[in-house]
Each structure stands twice: as structure tokens, then as C-alpha cells.
Structure 1
Amino acid sequence: MTKARLAWAMGTLLVAGTLNAQQPAATQSKYDPHALFSPLFYTQNGNEYRAATGEPGPSYWQNKVDYQINAKLDDTKNEVSATVTITYKNNSPLKLPFLWLQLDQNLFNKDSRGQAKMPATGRSRYGDAKSGFDGGYKIKSVQLINGATASDANYLITDTRMQLKLANALAAKGGTLKFRIEYSYTVPQYGADRTGIQPTKNGDIYAIAQWFPRLCVFDDVRGWNTDPYLGASEFYCEYGDFDVNITAPANHIVVASGDLLNPSEVFTAKQLQKYNQAKTSDATVIIRDSAEVTDPASRPSKPTVTWKYKMVNARDFAWASSKSFILDAARMNLPGGKTALAISAYPAESNGKNAWGRSTEYTKGSIENYSKRWFPYPYPAAVNVASNIGGMEYPGIVFCSYRARTAGLFGVTDHEFGHTWFPMIVGSNERRYGWMDEGFNTFINGIAEKDFNNGEYASPKRSQHGNRLFSANIESVLNTPDGMAERNIGSLLYSKPGFALGLLRDEVLGQERFDFAFRKYISDWSYKHPTPTDFFRSIENSAGEDLAWFWKAVFFETYSLDQAVNKVEYLENDVKKGAIVTIDNLEKMAMPVTIEYTTASGKVARKKLPVEIWQNNISWKVLLPTEEEVTKVVIDPDKVLPDANGANNTWSKQ
């Protein structure tokens, strides 16, 4: 730098300092521009596994696990018994001397860690320490399979995890291992709002999930992901194929993830005809109506029936069974001319045009919309099951409250099937980062409710409904669900990240830029395991924007927003030369600013300022191009920002 250049720079710094000193905030500000806009947001560089662009790197790897399961439901004992044969493929660059599996049903063992966390008084949606139910897996055998030979495995069970110890480490980059587990368990009546039994006048509804030993994820981020299942945090699963046979009483209907392979063996001739009709019908077709539920002729006259299902490239599998099910279905029309089948299973108590009679319509509308907007639905069917579960999702099947009606049923149906995209397609780690599925899904739900049936169930606009979410009195979004106060889970996993993505889309990037970036993120990480950093980098690179300030304020910290109108003056005290409005940033968060101003003649105009005005200022002067007196100035006139103090957003001429 030349001496002249240096002198100019020093002078500029002195002038800038003087200007800032002449622009104090009206109220003492908590804002530190350098803390929010620090260039050192990312703590590590991209690598061959996870690129700096937010994409999977050229050497990204992921292990694969296939399940072949033969299961039986005993509705007299409320018991599921099964044998699962697991084929595990190690695509990692490391040898594996042991494997870890999840045993989620062990949460319901009275001595589990999760039960120890249940409150002694009051209630939790994840369990009840006072219920007296003592569940969990009864493991009969664990055997390694080598061709036609089976040998007892060396294993250790710790709470909701099983460690399978290998005499010879599983080879890297393609080594495979096959083993078999024989087990049973008693189905809990109310299983942490994710599995359970709903009594009805025509028979119990069994919603069966977390029902087989599943491989823990081994990844390049943490190695083995062995966080215990405690109830609040959900799941992190590997992808693979499922071949599942479910034997149930013959008077039951069984619905499940995936493709039903033997409909002619499990349906009556009439039901089969209706089932096939539904595959080509945009209108809902009743396969088994309410009158047939109590007609013995509507089911085969033998003790049991085996339902055969297949699911490809999925991270989980769930099912439901009941003799009380009304069954209906319709075709879903997907991009590229593909189709799938929307199915609803519900009891007589849930029937009716204002209730589950529209479930298939809601399912069809939801999935067709998300397929068009974001990424095509990948499964052959989508099943909505009425149960005692408020709302829970699995690949190709969801459980929703049998009491849900009208807007409530649409909302829970749309939300649970929205989870097809997060985390079923984009396989994030729910146990650590619940906001990456619940928050993203809440965000797309907000768009979908306006799309469905010309906004039949669209919510009215709520002014500044994000205020309570942006406060130092609430925890950081980047906590595990198990580590959050239960009362805050709805806000931190669902509402705040969902609201924040709406801000990013509508107020920061604009819909076109955001939607392009969001679609690319989904496409890049479909059937893979992204981390929060992968998401942040992906959006930034596709949108061409440094958003570290946004991620920091919303997800990492508990910052509030308070932008205020300080005063209105005129350039050189001349109204005709324009009005100078001073705005202050009083809290630790920053956002772009929209100013609406009204002049003496009644004209109303707006000016939008980018977030960069807050990069090195706590107060900012903006010149409004008007030749007449200004009578009113409002910032955030549409009340779309989570501003903590709306009272200082308006200035009016006295």
C-alpha cells in the first residue's frame, strides 16, 4: 500500500468512526456486528467425503443393510414374534471388528435408561414411569450365517443397543456379513406415541414400529452412532431392502411399508377387484366398507393369513394389523407418468366424510404436491392408518390419530407424509438433529396447506408469530431432542426452524433462489446422510450467498431481533431533498429491513435494505426519495419478521 493510499485509508477510518459516533442507537444496543458476521463460521474445510459445496464428496461412502423378516402377530397375547435375517455390507474404508444394533423396544423395559428419565409426577408423551408395563425384546438366539452353516454369535446387550462382536473383522470396501436373530416382544399399549394398540368396538388396531433389531449407522462423521433410544429423539437408520412376511389372524387386514406381493392370497375376490380398480382411479375406491367389517365372509375362513411385502432402498419398515379396518384407496399421479397407490385403513369410529372418509384424498393431495414441488415420491404405496398415535411416520406408512377430523386430519396426514422427504429420502440423523426433519417438514407443510384444494385448510396469516421463538429464554435449536426441555421440543424442532426457512425463502433469498437450492439439497442427499453443515453449505453454494449470519443467529444461538425507527430528519433541513430515517438494531440478531413510508399527500412507498447494512453498524441512516413531508414510517410493515418489540417499529409525525 502506498503512503497516499495509507493516509487515505486512515482518514476514512477516522471519518467512519466519527460518523458512527454521531449515530448512537436510541436505546442501548446489544448488537455486535463482528460477532454475527464473523468470517470464521465453519470450523472445518470440505473433504473427499463431504465437499465444501455441501454435496457428497467424490469418495462419499455409506454402508448398506438388507432385512428378511418372518413375523407373526398373536392378538391374544399382544405379542410379535419374528426371525430377522440381516445382510450387512461394509462400504467404509475401515475394517469393522464389531457391529452395533438398535433395540428400540428395550425402551419399554422397566429398567431402561429411558424409563429412568420419565417424570415421577406429571406426564410425558414418551412414556409413564408409573404404568407398570415391562416390555422389551426377548432374544431367543443370535447366529452368524456362513452358507448353510449357522453358529452362535458373541453379543452384548446394553439398554437399547446390541454389540455383535466378530472373531474376524468385517473387511473394508465391500465386506459382507449375514446373521439371524430370533426374538419376540409384547406390544406396548402406548409406545412413546410411535407404536401401540388402539381398542375399537370391532377389534384392536396394532400399529407396529421399532419392532425389529436395526443396524446403527456407521458413518464418516462419528463412526458408530450408538445414542440410546430415550423416547424424545427419533431415529437414524441405514438404507437397504426389506423382504417381510407377516402372519396374522385371517380376520385381520395388514397394511405395511412397501409393495404388497400377494394380494390374491390375502383379499377376497371382491376386495381384490376393488383393490385393482383403485390402482387406476383418481377417486377413492372402497375396498372393504363398514358393513363388511362385521361380516365374516369378508375375510378368508382359515386361522391365519401371511401378507408378503417388499420395500427397496428404504431406511425402515412398519406395519399395522386389525380386524376392524375399513380399507379404501386411490391412484396417485407422480412426475414422469409414474403412479403409486394411496391407501387408508381406519375403524368404523373414524368413518365419515368429515373424518377418515377423506384420508385417501388428503394422502393423494399431499404426496402429489410434494412430488411436484420438491422430489418424486419413491414408494409403490402410501398408507395412512388410524391409531392411538397422534402422528408418526415411516417409509410408505404413517400412523395418525383415529379421532382426527377435517383440518386436523388433513394437517397430521400432510405432516406425516411430508416426512417422506425428511428423513425418509434425505436421511438425516434425527436422534441428534431433530430439526433437520421436523423443521424442514413443518416448512414444506406451510406451503402445502395453501396448495391443497385451493387453500381449503390454509391457516390465516399470523402477525409476527415467530417472536416467542427468538428469545434467550429458549434453548438452542442445535441441541439433541433428548437434551431439550420437553415443553420446548415443539418450538425448537418444529416451529422455529420451519419459520426460519420461511424467512430465508421469502425475506432473504427470494422464492426462486431458495427453491432451486432446496431442491438441489434434496436431490444431492437423497438416500444419504447429511449433517447440518452439509445443509448450510449446500444452500449457500446454490443460492450464491454467505448465510453464516443467519445460521448462527437462528440455529446456533438464542438471539432476538429488535429493529427500531429512531428518528426522521430532512437532508440539509430541506423537505424537497428527501427524508433521512435513522434505524437501530437493538438485539443480537439482524435481518434485511423493509421501510414503508407515507407522505403528506397520502402516497405510500417502500424501500428494502439488505442485511449488509448491519455488517458494521448498529445504527443506519437511509435517504428516502421524497419531495414532501413524511408523516409516517414503519419498518417490517407486513409483520413478517420475529421482531421482539413491534412498538418501536413505527414513527409518526406528532
Structure 2
Amino acid sequence: MKKLFSGAILILSACFAQAQKNQNDTITTNYEPSVLFSALPYKYKGNEFHAANGEPGPKYWQNRADYKLNVILDTVSKTLSGTANITYTNNSPDALQYLWLQLDQNTYKKDARSNFVTGMQAAQHTSGYEIESVEVVTGNQHIKANYKITDTRMQVRLAQALGKGVINLIIKYHYTIPGNFGGRTDYVDTRNGKIYEIAQFFPRMCVYDDSRGWATAPFLGSGEFYCEYGDIDYSVTAPWDMIVAGPGDLLNPKEVLTAAQITRLAAARNSDKTVMIRSAAEINDPKSRPVNKGTLTWHYKMLNTRDVAFGASKAYIWDAARVNLPGGKKSMAMSVYPVESQGNDAWGRATEYLKKSMEYFSEKWFVYPWPTAINEAGIAGGMEYPGIVFDGINDKGKELYWVTAHEIGHNWFPMIVGSDERRFAWMDEGFNTFIDIYASDEFNNGEYAPKRDGEYAPGGGNPADEIIEHIIDPNSPSIMTQPDAIPEKYRHPLTYFKPAFGLVLLREQILGKDRFDYAFKNYIQKWAYKHPQPEDFFRAMENGAGEDLNWFWNAWFYNNYKLDIALIDAKYIDGKKGIKLTIANKEMMAMPFTVELKLNDGSKQRTYFPVETWLQNKVTNYTIPLTKEVESVTIDPDNALPDVNRKNNSKKL
């Protein structure tokens, strides 16, 4: 009799299960678990160069480029002329028969490829780089190089292949500085003189890496830069009345600064409050310069950097303050800006914004490595280089704080973690936008929080809701699309916002803060001053957090899948001792989610459903035990997920 009874129970349970399955099968859904949870097609197995755990392998190698630069800024002809002495070290196992260099000023030429990308022709042009000579130096012997220029690249064809070892190039050149059409490098008039923002001002070595060989993608405007690390010793000769604001150590302060300015800088190095180095009243005072005629040469050196840029103007107000870094280390934050930008509601707080951002990022992720950082006011309006950022001359308040935090944040991505911006812009813009979010929360007890500046949540709304319009757009490319192939309409959402919000989802919904932070910080430390690829990041996060995230990379990065988790039914069972939920995943993306029960006494009860809920099922049934009656059931009560249809997320009982 007992066996018969047990068998009957099993048969009855099977019948109920089959009935439930039949009911679930009638629910319409586009979700296919076998597609989402298929193995991510990594291009490579882990190897001795890029390990399977997402870290550099034991035989990882990287080439090096050191520069000695001497340039002259001619403010009459609006030209920059110079000599670049490049020491290039080949650490690769390959013999290099030729070398490739970037000539990004050529993007301003009338026949540049960048003029054909968007269909919008530029109205103004320059003649780009005018190369005067290229020499290969061996010992005391200077040999005229065989070179070929193609758009924004120059190939130097070597008579003898370069094996492991060093080669020296000397390039003499000049170019016309683009005016206000320059975008990332320009000049503009202010009340007390022109401001020059000088970037991409010397021929730079292309990266030769173990993923593609030579990275020779042309500079087309949207995709930014990919550079080798090395020391850059640079000297800028400019008119005597100009301040040249450059990153790194100023090696000849007594030649270019007054005794008073040197004293004030020393005070700033020991002050948490901003110290004025050159006031508005001193701008047109000849006594604020060490000489009153001719030119001065400013000599800087920056170690272990992938690039340099500088600002120059006689119109600069200049202030500075100490930056306190972990381990007792120090740096200095400085700002230069015209009188039009002064005031405590504007650039009067620029150094404070810079200092606090540097301190937060250093404490949270990786210690800032360089002796100074400069916030420079101009019309580039938000552009970053190691140790210096070009921010908007008219920015004030929260806009100035947000752009300052964002641009200096780029010193972590990609200036420290040296990813290829030209092919994977999301690895610098997206990651940097992500770390901005938490910096804004921390600054001055959230003075400018939450960050809603068009980079994280365009329009100022809920970030989960804001991204939906781009997810449901059938023409929207995926994050992994090459930057220059992304139409302007989608550039910001896909390069900045979606990858940043993806990391928020990983940190706050999928992995949790502790596991995410540990894995992400380890990724930064392992790849500092190196060249990670996207797969290195994916593998590093999976290994560091101990989670298979193939489904997430697949849905969020490689595809533009939609998420729609729907509450199909909620009903009492067993005399109201439980509530049975029927929940469907109706689109191709899956996510872990939270269900909140609002009880009739006003209290709330939450249940977390991991992503494994969707590993086999398109529809899931789950019973939650009750001790009180339920007023309503809601999926994702915090609206934290990018659910494309929130109307099917709740039900009143």
C-alpha cells in the first residue's frame, strides 16, 4: 500500500509538472537559452603572451619609444616647427624590416581620408606635416631614410631589418597649427591674447604588438590614439610673455619663472588649498616674466608616458595645490585659464576639482604616477593627454567638475592601462565614464552627484531607462564596432554610456561590489603601462571574480540584445501560505533580477534570482513562502535593469 501511495504521488506530481510545462509553453518569448549561453568565441586560447586568466603571460613583450623633442611655437606665422629624436626599442621576437609612425596632423589636409567618413566636408584645412628630413642614425653616421607617407601614417623602410635592439630616427618637420577648427588641437582669441592647445605635435611611433603587428589604422577623427610607452624629454620655445603649461617635471624653472613664482609653487606643493601662482592682475605685468623680450625655452621631462601635449598663452591665470596620494606619495594639481574663466563658480575651483578626482581615483584604483596634472582652459572642450587635460573655457559648476573628473580619469584609461583607443574606444571612454560615476558620488559629499552629464545617463534620467532607446533601435551597432564606423548618433551611447552602464550592472547586479572591485583593480594593476586587448579584460574579470560571464559579454558587448523580464502570474497557494510566481524572459538577453513583495502591513520582502534562472528556462515558476498577505509583486523594484517593458513587471493582488 505504501509503494502504491508513493507511486501515485509521483504520477500526480508529474501531471502537475506537465500541466505547468504546457502552460509555460503557451507563453510567447523570443528568448533562446542555448544561444545566449553558448560559449563565447574567444579568438585565441591563453598563451605565454596573453594568459588564459586575462593577465600578461610570462613571455609578454612590448616595444618602447623614447623621444627628445625640440619645438618652436611661432605665434606670428601660427606654425610649430621641430625636431624629433626618437629612440625605438624592438623587444619583439620579430625582425622589423620597416617602421610605422603616426602623422596625425595630416588629418587636416584637404584630401585626408577623415574628410570622407561622415559625408560632411571640413570647411578649413592645413597642409598637415611638412617633413623636412628623416634620418636613421647609427653611431655618428646619419643616413637619409627611405620613407613613404600615406595619409596619417609614415613608413620608414630600413636597409637592414631591426632585430631585438635599438634604432634612432631624427625627423625635422613643421606644420601650420589649425585654428578653432582643430578639435583636439587649436588656438583661440581671449581678452589678453591667444590660447594655444598643442597636441599630436610630433611624429609618434605606431604600436607594434603581438595581436596585430603594426597598428596602422589611420586617424579619422573619432577613434583616438594607441601609443608606445617611453620617456619624453621635450623643450618648447615660445615668446617671452607666454606661460607654457606642460606635464612632467619642469627642468629649468629658474630660466622661465620668476623668483616669486618659484616660491609660490613650493608653497603649493605643501598646500591642500589652492595657491595662486600667477594672478589675473599679473597677466599684463612684465614683472611676471623673468625676461621682457625675445623667447624662452621651457624644458620638461615626463617618464614612462605614451604621449605629451601642452598649452601656451600669455593670457593664463595659473594656480596649484598639493595632491595627496596613497603611501605618502605626492603630486600637484594645476590649472591655467584666462580672466574670462575666473570666479569661484567657474575655473576658480578647477584645481580643487582636479585634485579631488586624482585623490579618489588613486585611492580607489591605482596611484597617479606623474609629478603634476594640469587642467587647461580652451576650446578643445574636453580632451585628455597624460598629465594634462583640455577643458571648456566657458564651463562652470557641475559641468566643469564633471568634465574635469572625466578627462583626468583618462589618465587611468588609457594613459596608464594602454588600450588601443583607435579600435576599442569603449575600453577607455566606457571604463572612464564608469569610474566617473562613483567619483561624483564621493566629491564634497555628493555636491554634484549623481553624475548625469550626457556621458552616463543622457537626458538626466534613470540610466537603466536611458539606454533602452539605443537597445531597441534596430540600427544601433554593437559596442565592439570599430569607433570610426559608428555614426555620430550612436557614438556617445555605445562608446561611453553603454559600456559604463554594463560595468555598473556587473558591479551592482551580477558580481557585487567586492568581487567586481577586486577583479577590476587587479586588471588595472596587471595591465598598467601595457597593451591589453578586449579578451584580456573579459578573461580578467571572469577569473578575478570567479564567474563565467560569457552570456553577459555575448549579450551586452558583442550583440545589442534586449531584456524583457515579465511577471506573467502571481497567485496564492496552500491557503495563502505561499505565493506562486510565473516569470518569463521574453527577449534574448538574460539578467539576474530581484522580486519584491509589498505586504499588507507595509513591509517589503525581496528575493534574488540568479542568472541561472534562465540557463534552461524561458519561463520559470517559483513559490515564495508567506506569513502575511501580499499587496503587490514587482520585478526589479529599483528599476536597475535595462528592461525594455516595465509595464509587465508588476501585479497587484
TM-score by length of 2: 0.94
| Residue correspondence of structure 1 range 309-320 to structure 2 within 5 A | 309-320=300-311
Question: Which contiguous aligned blocks of 4+ residues in structure 1 show a shift greater than 6 angstroms?
Answer: 14-17
Structure 1 residues 25, 632: closer, same or farther in 2, change over 3 A? farther
1:345 equivalent in structure 2: 336
Q: Is the 8 A contact 1:99 1:165 kept in 2?
A: yes
Structure 1 residues 305, 343: closer, same or farther in 2, change over 3 A? same
1:458 equivalent in structure 2: 449
1:111 equivalent in structure 2: 111
Shift of residue 328, structure 1, vs aligned partner: 0.5
Q: Is the 8 A contact 1:41 1:548 kept in 2?
A: no
d(CA) in 1 for partners of 2:15, 2:128: 71
Structure 1 residues 21, 410: closer, same or farther in 2, change over 3 A? same
Gap regions ≥5 residues in structure 1: 1-10, 121-128
d(CA) in 1 for partners of 2:479, 2:370: 31
Shift of residue 307, structure 1, vs aligned partner: 0.3
Match status 1:178 vs 2:178: no
2:139 equivalent in structure 1: 147
Worse overlay, 271-280 or 327-336: 271-280
Structure 1 residues 634, 404: closer, same or farther in 2, change over 3 A? same
1:200 equivalent in structure 2: 190
Report the 3-state secondary structure (helix = DSSP H, G, I; strand = E; otherwise coil) of the residue aligned with 2:541: helix
**Residue-by-residue CA offset, 1:206-259 (whole Å, 9 max, x unaligned):** 000011100111000000110000001000100011010110001000011211
2:629 equivalent in structure 1: 629
Q: Is the 8 A contact 1:25 1:585 kept in 2?
A: no
| Residue correspondence of structure 1 range 154-303 to structure 2 within 5 A | 154-172=146-164, 175-190=165-180, 192-299=182-289, 300-303=291-294
2:522 equivalent in structure 1: 520
Worse overlay, 598-607 or 320-329: 598-607
d(CA) in 1 for partners of 2:180, 2:91: 38
d(CA) in 2 for partners of 1:234, 1:261: 30
2:432 equivalent in structure 1: 441
Worse overlay, 582-591 or 111-120: 111-120
TM-score by length of 1: 0.94
Q: From 363, 371, 375, give the equivalent of 1:384.
A: 375
**Residue-by-residue CA offset, 1:532-584 (whole Å, 9 max, x unaligned):** 1000000000100000111111100011111010001233x5312x1111111
**Corresponding letter in the other structure for 1:649:** N
Aligned length in residues: 629
2:315 equivalent in structure 1: 324
1:432 equivalent in structure 2: 423
Match status 1:45 vs 2:36: no
Q: Is the 8 A contact 2:279 2:318 kept in 1?
A: yes
Worse overlay, 79-88 or 26-35: 26-35
Report the 3-state secondary structure (helix = DSSP H, G, I; strand = E; otherwise coil) of the residue aligned with 1:77: coil
Shift of residue 472, structure 1, vs aligned partner: 4.7
d(CA) in 2 for partners of 1:595, 1:584: 13
1:564 equivalent in structure 2: 566
Shift of residue 193, structure 1, vs aligned partner: 2.4
Structure 1 residues 26, 286: closer, same or farther in 2, change over 3 A? farther
Q: Is the 8 A contact 2:40 2:554 kept in 1?
A: no
Q: Is the 8 A contact 2:467 2:493 kept in 1?
A: no
d(CA) in 2 for partners of 1:453, 1:582: 45
**Corresponding letter in the other structure for 1:78:** K
**Residue-by-residue CA offset, 1:505-543 (whole Å, 9 max, x unaligned):** 001111011001010000000000001100000000010
2:454 equivalent in structure 1: none
Shift of residue 598, structure 1, vs aligned partner: 2.0
d(CA) in 2 for partners of 1:41, 1:490: 27
Shift of residue 337, structure 1, vs aligned partner: 0.7
Q: Is the 8 A contact 1:466 1:641 kept in 2?
A: no
Q: Is the 8 A contact 1:135 1:188 kept in 2?
A: no
Report the 3-state secondary structure (helix = DSSP H, G, I; strand = E; otherwise coil) of the residue aligned with 1:204: strand
Match status 1:503 vs 2:505: yes
Shift of residue 632, structure 1, vs aligned partner: 0.7
1:4 equivalent in structure 2: none
**Residue-by-residue CA offset, 1:390-439 (whole Å, 9 max, x unaligned):** 10000000000100000000000000000010000000000000000000
Worse overlay, 498-507 or 294-303: 294-303
**Corresponding letter in the other structure for 2:472:** S
Q: Is the 8 A contact 1:20 1:617 kept in 2?
A: no
Q: Is the 8 A contact 1:198 1:205 kept in 2?
A: yes
2:91 equivalent in structure 1: 91
2:3 equivalent in structure 1: none
d(CA) in 1 for partners of 2:520, 2:470: 23
**Corresponding letter in the other structure for 2:584:** D
**Residue-by-residue CA offset, 1:252-298 (whole Å, 9 max, x unaligned):** 00011211111111111211111121111111010100011111221
Report the 3-state secondary structure (helix = DSSP H, G, I; strand = E; otherwise coil) of the residue aligned with 1:283: coil
Q: Is the 8 A contact 1:329 1:360 kept in 2?
A: yes
Report the 3-state secondary structure (helix = DSSP H, G, I; strand = E; otherwise coil) of the residue aligned with 2:147: strand
Match status 1:136 vs 2:119: no
d(CA) in 1 for partners of 2:20, 2:162: 64
Q: Is the 8 A contact 2:267 2:275 kept in 1?
A: yes
Shift of residue 192, structure 1, vs aligned partner: 4.9
**Residue-by-residue CA offset, 1:473-495 (whole Å, 9 max, x unaligned):** 32100011100011111000100
2:547 equivalent in structure 1: 545
Identity across aligned pairs (percent)?
Answer: 50
d(CA) in 1 for partners of 2:302, 2:114: 30
Report the 3-state secondary structure (helix = DSSP H, G, I; strand = E; otherwise coil) of the residue aligned with 1:227: coil
